[in-house]
Structure 1
Amino acid sequence: MTITNPAQYTAVTTSDKIFQALQADIVEGRIAPGSKISEPELSKKYHISRSTLREALNRLERCHLIERKANVGCRVVECTVAGLLEIYQVREALEGMACRLAAQNMSDSEIADLQKVLSLHADTKQLKQGVAYYQEEGDLDFHYRVILGSHNQQLITILCSELYHLVRMYRFQFGMNSPRATRAFDEHHHILTAIADRDGELAELLMRRHIAASRKNIEKKLQKET
């Protein structure tokens, strides 16, 4: 089965390029959450037509990075605690399912590649210091690779296209440092072992526990800050 890799998508058209540029600016906070999207300003900035810009904005809306409101127009979504926790609830269920399917469907070479990804993670300075475990997007993201390994196009579309960059946006906004860094990395190893053993039931259980633990950690962190 051929898997499309959205995070590695190569810009082809002008709309593609504008979409990717705006997506990066929103995710990384250069365009602030809640800020209004001005079509005339963006058209002038990028020297593009309004129709080309609107095509890019439509794609950003499908990725849940912007929203349209009557009499207001387009705005970048707000990052709220409630929204963050809802995303984790969705991820727990759907990534658990993806992990079960990955144990059934990943090839031996895909599993070997995933092991190489974890080996790269182990060498990062922040993880060695136990302060953060933040992965680059796409093929260097453990969760992303597991989802692709499910070989289920519906899950891939939902998790790797529609929600993927929104999750990254929340990571940037709420901070990436975590006291769970080392433990999260160890949990990834246990998940990979279950996948390699073709134990779908255990793989799903471990992934659900892993994401639930991250959600609880975030809840505790936010409670301390309030």
Structure 2
Amino acid sequence: MSINSLQASKQDTLSEHVFEQIKEDIITGVIPQGQKIGEADLAKSYHISRGPLREALQKLESIHLVDRRPHSGSRVITLDSTMMRDVYQMREAMEGFATRLACIAMSQADIDNLYRLLEKHESSIKRSEGQRYFQKEGDLDFHYYIFSKCQNQWLIDYLNNKLYQVLRMCRHRTSQMPFRVEPALHDHYAIVDAVNNRDPELAEILMRRHISGAWKMVENLLNQEENKE
């Protein structure tokens, strides 16, 4: 491998690493919503040069966590009530249908893995004394696991590349509502039971109700916050 190829590979690795770091910091609120992206400050904070950082920021823009506008630079997205409503509406429609398809497509081994995943989630909730239900990314995420098994690549790609990280950002908020934790886990078990019974219509209905219920709670919270201001 040439020196130039080694340097390019090293830069790609650095870019991917800082992309993952900044992504999680945005989703969990370490980097606040609406914050302006200053490349010099970020490069210093994450101990990286401008080149790999710019590549990371381009990836963050492509998954809609960073918004770049002419003449005003880049900012972390702000989850206002309109954006969150739109995201939850998209979730309800697309994840509901993905669940219907997954109900037909999933193997019994997939379903058994899903039950085991929920058992791990239940243990995690108990360790938090019922205060939070925040799921890790990818196959450790109940919603991701289901839509990734729907066997419709267009639907998977759209949910994964366009919505998933914004969804995680929204859900990070609801995961810390104690009154939402147990109902969410109960809903998840009911959805898997419907999938296990190979009832695609019920599985879709339950997923849509689950997401719609989450939005109603978020909407109430947003209204309360607006009334306090």
**TM-score of the aligned structures, taking structure 1 as reference length:** 0.85
1:21 aligned partner: 21
> Residue 54 and residue 100 in structure 1: after superposition, are their counterparts in 2 closer, same or farther (change >3 A)?
same
Residue 47 of structure 1 and its aligned partner are, at CA, apart by 5.2
- Bigger proportion of residues as helix: 2
Instruction: Please identify, of 174-183 and 53-62, the stretch whose mean Cα deviation from structure 2 is larger.
Output: 174-183
CA-based RMSD: 2.4
Higher RCO (CA 8 Å, separation ≥ 6 residues): 1
What is the aligned partner in structure 2 of residue 106 from structure 1?
106
1:170 aligns with 2:170: yes
CA offset at residue 175 of structure 1? Answer: 6.3
Q: Quick check: 2:12–2:52 contact (8 Å CA) kept in 1?
A: no
1:97 maps to 97
Q: Is the alpha carbon distance of 1:106 and 1:37 closer, same or farther for their aligned partners in structure 2, counting shifts above 3 Å?
A: same
Tell me the CA shift for residue 12 of structure 1.
Answer: 6.5
1:19-98 equivalence runs, <5 A: 19-46=19-46, 48-98=48-98
CA distance 1:104–1:28, shift in 2 (3 Å): same
Q: CA deviation at 1:176?
A: 1.7
5+ unaligned residues in a row in structure 1: which ranges? 1-10
Indicate the percent of aligned positions where both proteins have the same amino acid.
42
- 1:109 Cα deviation after fit: 0.9
User: 2:140: which partner in 1?
Assistant: 140
The 2-side partners of 1:109 and 1:175 are apart by: 28
Aligned-pair CA distance for 1:139: 2.3
Can you give the 5+ residue segments of structure 2 that lack an aligned partner in the other structure?
1-10
**Higher Rg of the two aligned structures:** 2
How many correspondences in the alignment?
216
Which amino acid is the alignment partner of residue 110 of structure 2?
A: E
Mark the CA change 1:174 to 1:108 in structure 2 (over 3 Å): closer, same or farther. closer
Measured against aligned partners, the alpha-carbon deviations of 1:91-141 in whole angstroms (never above 9, x if no partner) come to 000000110110111111111100101111222345885544332332222
* CA gap 1:176/1:158 in 2 versus in 1, 3 angstroms: farther
**Hey, what's the Cα distance between the residues in 1 that align with 2:224 and 2:28?**
25
Deviation at 1:26, TM superposition (A): 1.3
Q: Say whether the 8 Å CA contact 2:174–2:214 is kept in structure 1.
A: no
Q: Offset of 1:210 from its aligned partner?
A: 1.0
Distance 1:31 1:210, change over 3 A: same
The TM-score normalised by the length of structure 2 is 0.84
